[in-house]
Amino acid sequence: MQKQTFKQLEEEIYFETLENGLTVYILPKPDFNKTFATFTTKYGSIDDHFKPLGEDEFTRVPDGIAHFLEHKMFEKEDGDVFQKFSMQGASANAFTSFTRTAYLFSSTDQVTKNLETLIDFVQAPYFTEETVEKEKGIIGQEITMYDDNADWRLYFGAIQNMFHHHPVRVDIAGTVESISHITKDHLYQCYHTFYHPSNMSVFIVGPVDPEEYMEFVRANQASKTFDPPQQIERKFDNEPEHVKVAHNELNMEVQVSKCMVGIKSIEKNISGDELLRKELSINTAFEVLFGKTSDYYTDLYDRGLIDDHFSFDFTQEQNFGFGLLGGNTPDPVKLAAEIKEILLKEAQNPTITEKKIDGVKKKNIGGFLRSLNSPEFIANQFTRYAFNDMDLFNAVPTLETLTVEDIHTALKDFIKEDRITSFFIVPKSGGENE
């Protein structure tokens, strides 16, 4: 077991990669009541085209399967795992993102028992035709609920505008149609391919003794047998650099229009420090340009083009990435045009100064400190970083080294006219109020 200490932050993290390939991280928080633990696989909605374990040919699986699998993991021959957790005083949950599926619990009591339940249930798949069929109804309802959610439609609308083929364009839950094709065999195939310990990690935060908990996980894993680790081969179709469509919109039963501007990243294989620097640079640039202290924000807000829910974010994963900026607005056409103009102008004639960047740095140093109050943040973000060969605790030190030139260059490479798109949600015409 290794240990890394962050003296100024008064935090330490313990970690070890076990024989079967599973990586375990433990961050003690002695003053907390609860322990929060995640068990995460590097497998998400984009992993729809791959070589199944032990096979030579690539196969494609129905859209929404990673999320479907996440739901089905909770059902066992002897009942629902949620019940077991709550009987042990824990609250459990799970989520599926583009690149990860995470199972988690938090509890203040019977923590080792809950940890055992977490690891064991994720490592014991149980799917039958009957339970798979029943789940289609439940997930169908979930999909329908998201269909009515204007913010979600806005988010996905912008992503679908950007990407021609990349599976990030597919809704994480799939569609009612796509999930209708899912069978138990598909689930086992995906499970065996992606849920191998070497593709997963465990993260534990709470008032725990690291050596005791590490030993607990070691013993648990040693009592089970796994195939030898194998490199997972995923396949992604060639994705053009330009966006699929420059604009699209959707009518919905909403009162206020919504506007999202998307910028597509062209990185195809990025990880580690390079990825970290890229993410930090673009996000810093966005913060300087559109943060609440910026002239642009003040101007857009004063003119009523945005409200205080205006948001921006840049995400980069190994083979896809995008920036998104937008929110509610009375005039989406104008807002989109102005955001686009600001970005293009900035890429050509940079105005971002050292002083502005220092402000963002200071803000982020405090923001990171605040994040360390949250076990959920630590576990989820650390895992995401680790899957991309980055270190969460290196984010602030790296940020501190960014120069004006770094940020100018990053923006110049990123912002190109044909990589920008916009998506609007507009109220259905007529009968605005009932």
Q: Distance (Å, rounded) from C-alpha 142 to C-alpha 68?
A: 11
What are the angstrom distances between the C-alpha of 116 and each of 45, 82, 213, 398? 27, 14, 11, 36
Write out the DSSP string of 275-299. HHHHHHHHHHHHHHHHSTTSHHHHH
Task: Decide if 70 is catalytic.
Answer: yes
369 binds another protein per the rule CB under 8 A: yes
- Name which of 188, 216, 205, 190 is nearest 131 in CA terms: 188
Interface region with another protein, contact rule CB under 8 A, candidates 101-109, 157-165, 184-192, 240-248: 101-109
- Name which of 327, 339, 345, 323 is nearest 279 in CA terms: 323
**The two structure tokens encoding residue 303:** 């003119």
Q: Distance (Å, rounded) from C-alpha 297 to C-alpha 7?
A: 37
The beta-carbon contacts of 374-377 under 8 Å, at least 24 apart in sequence, are 375/29, 375/32, 375/34, 375/35, 375/36, 375/106, 375/205, 375/206, 376/36, 376/106
* Interacting residue with another protein among 118, 360, 379, 420 (CB under 8 A): 360
- Name which of 18, 68, 24 is nearest 43 in CA terms: 68
354 binds another protein per the rule CB under 8 A: no
240 binds another protein per the rule CB under 8 A: no
- Select which of 70, 239, 317, 338 is catalytic: 70
In the complex, least distance from residue 36 CB atom to another protein, rounded to whole angstroms:
9
* Interacting residue with another protein among 291, 381, 389, 406 (CB under 8 A): 291
In the complex, least distance from residue 16 CB atom to another protein, rounded to whole angstroms:
26
The residue behind tokens 């799917």 is: 127
* Interacting residue with another protein among 4, 17, 33, 348 (CB under 8 A): 33
Q: Distance (Å, rounded) from C-alpha 148 to C-alpha 294?
A: 33
In the complex, least distance from residue 110 CB atom to another protein, rounded to whole angstroms:
9
Give the burial class of 68: count Cβ atoms within 10 A of its Cβ; 0-12 exposed, 13-18 middle, 19 or more buried.
buried
Torsion angle of the four alpha carbons 122, 180, 183, 65, in this order, in degrees rounded to the nearest 10: -40
420-427 and 247-252 as β-strands: parallel, antiparallel, unpaired?
parallel
In the complex, least distance from residue 247 CB atom to another protein, rounded to whole angstroms:
22
79-80 and 90-96 as β-strands: parallel, antiparallel, unpaired?
unpaired
34 binds another protein per the rule CB under 8 A: yes
* Interacting residue with another protein among 13, 90, 154, 170 (CB under 8 A): 90
Q: Identify residue 22 by its one-letter amino acid code.
A: L
| Contact pattern from residue 129 through residue 168 relative to another protein, giving x for each residue in contact according to CB under 8 A and a dash for the rest | -----x--xx--xx-xx-xx-x------------------
In the complex, least distance from residue 427 CB atom to another protein, rounded to whole angstroms:
9
* Interacting residue with another protein among 40, 45, 96, 106 (CB under 8 A): 106
Instruction: Go through the chain and tell me how many residues it has.
Output: 434
Give the burial class of 354: count Cβ atoms within 10 A of its Cβ; 0-12 exposed, 13-18 middle, 19 or more buried.
exposed
77 binds another protein per the rule CB under 8 A: no
* Interacting residue with another protein among 131, 294, 315, 398 (CB under 8 A): 294
293 binds another protein per the rule CB under 8 A: yes
Q: Which is nearer to another protein, 81 or 282 (CB)?
A: 81
How many residues bind another protein (CB under 8 A)? The answer is 65
Sheet containing strand 420-427, strands side by side: 247-252, 420-427, 258-264, 321-328, 311-316
* Interacting residue with another protein among 4, 17, 91, 311 (CB under 8 A): 91
397 binds another protein per the rule CB under 8 A: no
* Interacting residue with another protein among 1, 224, 366, 401 (CB under 8 A): 366
In the complex, least distance from residue 195 CB atom to another protein, rounded to whole angstroms:
23
377 binds another protein per the rule CB under 8 A: no
Q: Distance (Å, rounded) from C-alpha 136 to C-alpha 275?
A: 37
86 binds another protein per the rule CB under 8 A: yes
* Interacting residue with another protein among 20, 23, 59, 88 (CB under 8 A): 88
Q: Distance (Å, rounded) from C-alpha 203 to C-alpha 217?
A: 11
89 binds another protein per the rule CB under 8 A: yes
301 binds another protein per the rule CB under 8 A: yes
* Interacting residue with another protein among 19, 109, 212, 233 (CB under 8 A): 109
Under the rule (CB under 8 A), what is the footprint of another protein?
8-10, 31-34, 80, 82-83, 86-92, 106-109, 134, 137-138, 141-142, 144-145, 147-148, 150, 253-256, 291-295, 297-298, 301-302, 304, 307-309, 328, 359-360, 362-367, 369-370, 372-375, 428, 434
Active-site amino acid positions: 70
